[in-house]
Amino acid sequence: MDANTKPVILTGDRPTGPLHLGHFVGSLQNRVRFQDDYRQFILVADAQALTDNMGRYGKVHDNVLEVMLDYLAVGIDPAKSTIFIQSQVPELTELTFFYLNLVTVSRLERNPTIKEEIRLRGFERDIPAGFLTYPVSQAADITAFKATHVPVGEDQIPMIEQTNEVVRRFNASVEQEILVECKAVVPEVGRLPGIDGSAKMSKSLGNALNLSATADEVSRAVKMMYTDPDHLRVSDPGKVEGNVVFTYLDAFEPDTAMVADLKAQYQRGGLGDMKVKRVLEDRLQAMLEPIRTRRAAFASDPAEVMLILKRGTEAARAVAAQTLDEVKRAMGLVYFD
Amino acid sequence: MDANTKPVILTGDRPTGPLHLGHFVGSLQNRVRFQDDYRQFILVADAQALTDNMGRYGKVHDNVLEVMLDYLAVGIDPAKSTIFIQSQVPELTELTFFYLNLVTVSRLERNPTIKEEIRLRGFERDIPAGFLTYPVSQAADITAFKATHVPVGEDQIPMIEQTNEVVRRFNASVEQEILVECKAVVPEVGRLPGIDGSAKMSKSLGNALNLSATADEVSRAVKMMYTDPDHLRVSDPGKVEGNVVFTYLDAFEPDTAMVADLKAQYQRGGLGDMKVKRVLEDRLQAMLEPIRTRRAAFASDPAEVMLILKRGTEAARAVAAQTLDEVKRAMGLVYFD
């Protein structure tokens, strides 16, 4: 397929910490799959990260390289995917600026994703304006590349609806079909729980297993992993529902028949946690070892990695500039040519 | 004084209609005075105009040239003042984007200027996000040029306070003195009333006398002008307070002794409205005739006028880009050099 007829994906991450197994299951492995059939743009959302990290500039800056290393390590191929740094594409802030006029404050305040995130961060009435309006910035990111598909978690679907509202309002206001509506792509595999059994793996909850973890860290994480607290003796029957070890085996072990056997044995009684954990650890080590090796290879030449990011950013900028030009032309904001 | 040691003014207008006598008294004549002693940046705020004019793109576009003609006609000299188009300086939207993280939604909602403007426009809960956040965009305009002085009406002082809050918060967050605080410059001459006697001259109220008015339009406006409704006969004593004709004489007639005589005579009785109006009309015609002539001369070569705007925009952009570079460097948002 020609690059210009492929459907377009826009996706990315905030560079606020190392990526972990949750990212791998929820998005990274899909990006590796998607990059042949889609024209895929991946943004390292440093500007968006600042919406709740003002002042923590070093953290955001340094994690740009770390996130990029994670991308390359898992097999995202810069020859196939365009990886770029958000803050280096100023066209995105121009689009954001114009789109802010197409969205009301009350509409943003009703956005369920934003409401939940405001609650999680304890912002209440002290919401930074940049945080309330970040769905508009996301609409700019998505529409700048005329993305047709946006991979998101279930909880992010309102963001896509918000984007499509902006698209329809803008196109109506200029009476031209310039911006493109997009579809949410919700991954089949649900969210990966934390190693402590809580619903979400998250750096801030301290229950994450990073993609860059050493073999020892992997080993330790598996040992700490939440299983069935009532499964006290090997001979006891155990529960597999909510048992993180089995959830991870479902997520990462391709030999599903073997996993089904283990589950049956565990439920009957006679299979100890240590034994199942050893199976999982072997699987995770086998999976993470090549990622770790590739990561180390790329990390040995950070200048080369930044050069890849620079090229991706230039390519992304050219596309965003083209969309912005169409937008500004339609709005009559071109004077000098 | 060297350009770099002069105090810096940032000022401008939304291009939503022709400029009128109210603009002349409130700001334009001061700009002509200021342009020697200040480094003066004048922005034609087309992007800000869109915050409540989305869809009315032609109106905003076309008024950019009209406003520029008004500027040149009153004697703003592009060799002394840098006149530029806001939407052509994308650095301003980048600054806006970052500053949005430094201002809370509730702080914007408490801004008295914004509250009043929301009321005037009947927005209530359907406030476009771009309208609520336009003080942040103004902070970007002001700080991009490191303006030290910003001419504003009394009612706009909260905007300057808002800007200085952004300056202090940004500088504190990067632990450097990059942005510069500014002072509000409130003109000595108060606001010019409309020709109908209402407090404010405004295109939308239909009580304005445009700088580009023809001699006939000037004549008609003076004839319609609100005086003292109880001054029925020439011999009656009349009131000069609230009498627009006298307010305008105070604003535009340099011969203050003559105006004092007229006032005394009017208050005693024996001076008719027609006679005072003739004095004012002569004064306005004498003042507006050279403005009209200069305007027509510039209007005969719009390409040349746009070229002046292009050069001003390039000069302004260079200054804004320098500030943005300092801001992004301080925030760690520079990766490729």
Which structure tokens are listed for B58? 């032609």
Instruction: Compare all CA atoms of chain B with the CA of A125 and give the residue at the minimum distance.
Output: B106
Query: Do A179 and A266 lie in a common domain?
Result: no
Residue B248 to residue B284: CA distance in whole angstroms = 9
Does residue B130 lie within any of the structural domains? Answer: yes
For residue B310, what is the nearest residue in chain A, using CA coordinates? A336
Give me the pLDDT at residue B1, please: 45
CB contact under 8 Å between B128 and A313, yes or no, is no
A306 and chain B: CB distance < 8 Å anywhere? yes
Q: What are the CA-CA distances from residue A186 to residues A77, A136, A156, B153, B229 (Å)? A: 22, 20, 9, 52, 72
Contact B310 A137 (CB under 8 A): no
Q: Cβ A125–B105 below 8 Å, yes or no?
A: yes
pLDDT at res. B125: 67
Q: Using one digit for the tens of pLDDT, what is the confidence trace for A3-17? A: 568 999 999 999 999
Q: Is the same domain home to A45 and A133?
A: yes
Place of tokens 């202090």: B168
In terms of domains, do A174 and A243 share one?
no
Average pLDDT over residues A84-100: 98
DSSP assignment letter at B192: P
Average pLDDT over residues A245-264: 96
Q: Do A128 and B102 touch (CB under 8 A)?
A: yes
Is A93 close to B88, i.e. CB distance below 8 A? Answer: no
Q: How far apart are CA A250 and CA A261, in angstroms?
A: 12
Chain A residues with CB-CB distance to B46 below 8 A: 333
The helix/strand/coil state of B111 is: coil
Could you tell me which of B228, B221, B227 has the C-alpha nearest to residue B283?
B221
**Which residue in the set A129, A173, A306 is minimally distant from B133, CB to CB?**
A129
C-alpha pair distances (Å), B40 with each of A205, A310, B4, B86, B150: 52, 37, 11, 15, 10
- At A105-160, the pLDDT tens digits run 999 988 888 888 888 877 766 899 999 999 999 999 999 999 999 999 888 899 99
CA distance A288 to chain B (A): 29
Mark whether A130 and A255 lie in a shared domain: no
> Could you give the count of Cα atoms lying within 13 Å of B10 in the half-sphere of its Cβ?
24
DSSP state of A191: P
Same domain, B290 and B321: no
CA separation for the pair B39, B4 (Å, rounded): 8
Tell whether A91 and A179 lie within a shared domain: yes
Chain A window 136-155: which residues touch B at a Cβ cutoff of 8 Å? 136-137
Please indicate if any CB of chain B lies within 8 Å of the CB of A232: no
Same domain, B121 and B145: yes
Q: Is residue B311 part of a domain?
A: yes
Partners of A64 on chain B (C-beta within 8 Å) are 335
pLDDT value for A1: 45
Res B2: pLDDT: 52
Cross-chain Cβ contact B101/A51 below 8 Å: yes
**Which residue range forms the structural domain that includes residue B76?**
8-192+302-330
Residues in chain A closer than 8 A to B89 (CB atoms): none
d(CA A16, CA B243): 64
pLDDT tens digit sequence for A287-336? 999 999 999 999 999 999 999 999 999 999 999 999 999 999 999 999 99
**Closest chain B CA to residue A60:** B332
Distance from CA of A215 to the nearest CA of B (A): 31
For residue B36, is it within any domain?
yes
Kindly report the backbone phi and psi dihedral angles of residue A147, in degrees, each rounded to the nearest multiple of 5, phi listed first: -60, 135
Note whether residue A201 is domain-resident: no
Same domain, B78 and B143: yes
Could you tell me where the DSSP H helices lie in B197-272? Answer: 215-224, 244-252, 256-268
Counting the structural domains of chain B, the total is 2
Whether residue B206 is contained in a domain is answered as no
Q: Do A101 and B128 touch (CB under 8 A)?
A: yes
| Torsion sign, CA atoms A190, A273, A286, A71 | positive
Are B247 and B192 in contact by the 8 Å Cβ rule? The answer is: yes
Chain A residues closer than 8 Å to B306 by CB: 335-336
**B47/B182 same-domain check:** yes
Instruction: For A184-210, write each residue's pLDDT tens digit.
Output: 999 877 789 999 999 889 888 889 999
Complex-level ipTM: 0.93
Verify that A250 and A180 share a domain, yes or no: no
| Residue B55 φ then ψ, to 5° | 95, -30
pLDDT in tens, A267-285: 999 999 999 999 999 999 9
Q: Does residue A2 register a pLDDT over 60? A: no
**Residues in chain A closer than 8 A to B130 (CB atoms):** 97-98, 100-102
Residue A191's pLDDT is 82
Q: Is residue A221 part of a domain?
A: yes
Structural contact between residues B90 and A325, judged by C-beta atoms closer than 8 angstroms: no
Question: What pLDDT shows up at residue A120?
Answer: 80
Give chain A positions within 8 Å (CB) of B96: 93, 97
Closest to A96 (Cβ–Cβ): which among B57, B97, B128? B97
Q: Which of B88, B129, B136 has the CB atom closest to A105's CB atom?
A: B129
- CA of A329: which chain B residue's CA is closest? B57
Q: Does A205 touch chain B (CB under 8 A)?
A: no
What pLDDT does A18 receive?
93
* CATH number, residue B50: 3.40.50.620
Residue whose C-alpha is closest to residue B222's, from B247, B200, B195: B195
> B32 and B180, same structural domain?
yes
User: How far is CA A117 from each of CA A121, A123, A157, A184, rounded to the nearest angstrom?
Assistant: 6, 9, 14, 19
Do the beta carbons of residue B103 and residue B165 sit within 8 Å? yes
Q: Which DSSP category does A148 fall into?
A: S
Q: Do A328 and B87 touch (CB under 8 A)?
A: yes
- Closest Cα to residue B21, out of B270, B328, B283? B283
Cβ-Cβ contacts under 8 Å for A203 (sequence gap 6 or more): A16, A17, A18, A20
Closest residue to A47, CB basis, from B97, B127, B309:
B97
Instruction: Calculate how close chain B gets to A153, using CA atoms only, in Å.
Output: 25
Does the residue B233 lie in any domain?
A: yes
Q: What is the mean pLDDT of residues A170-186?
A: 97
User: What is chain B's pLDDT, residue by residue, as a tens digit (337 residues)?
Assistant: 455 689 999 999 999 999 999 999 989 999 999 999 999 999 999 999 999 898 999 999 999 999 999 999 999 999 999 999 999 999 999 999 999 999 999 999 888 888 888 888 777 668 999 999 999 999 999 999 999 999 998 888 999 999 999 999 999 999 999 999 999 999 877 789 999 999 889 888 889 999 999 999 999 999 999 999 999 899 999 999 999 999 999 999 999 999 999 999 999 999 999 999 999 999 999 999 999 999 999 999 999 999 999 999 999 999 999 999 999 999 999 999 7
Q: Which of A56-60, A174-178, A204-208 has the lowest mean pLDDT?
A: A204-208
Look at residue B198 and tell me if it is in a domain. Answer: no
Query: What is the phi/psi pair of residue B184, to 5°?
Result: -75, 135
Is A129 in contact with B108 (Cβ distance < 8 A)?
yes
Contact flag B97-A130 (C-beta cutoff 8 Å): yes
Clarify whether residues B177 and B283 are in a common domain: no
Residues of B in contact with A90 (CB under 8 A): 90-91, 93-94
B76: exposed, middle or buried (Cβ count in 10 Å: 0-12, 13-18, 19+): buried
Nearest CA distance, A144 vs chain B (angstrom): 15
For B191, phi and psi rounded to 5 degrees?
-70, 140
Lookup: tokens for A132:
């309330």
Q: What is the CATH number of the domain that holds A244?
A: 1.10.240.10
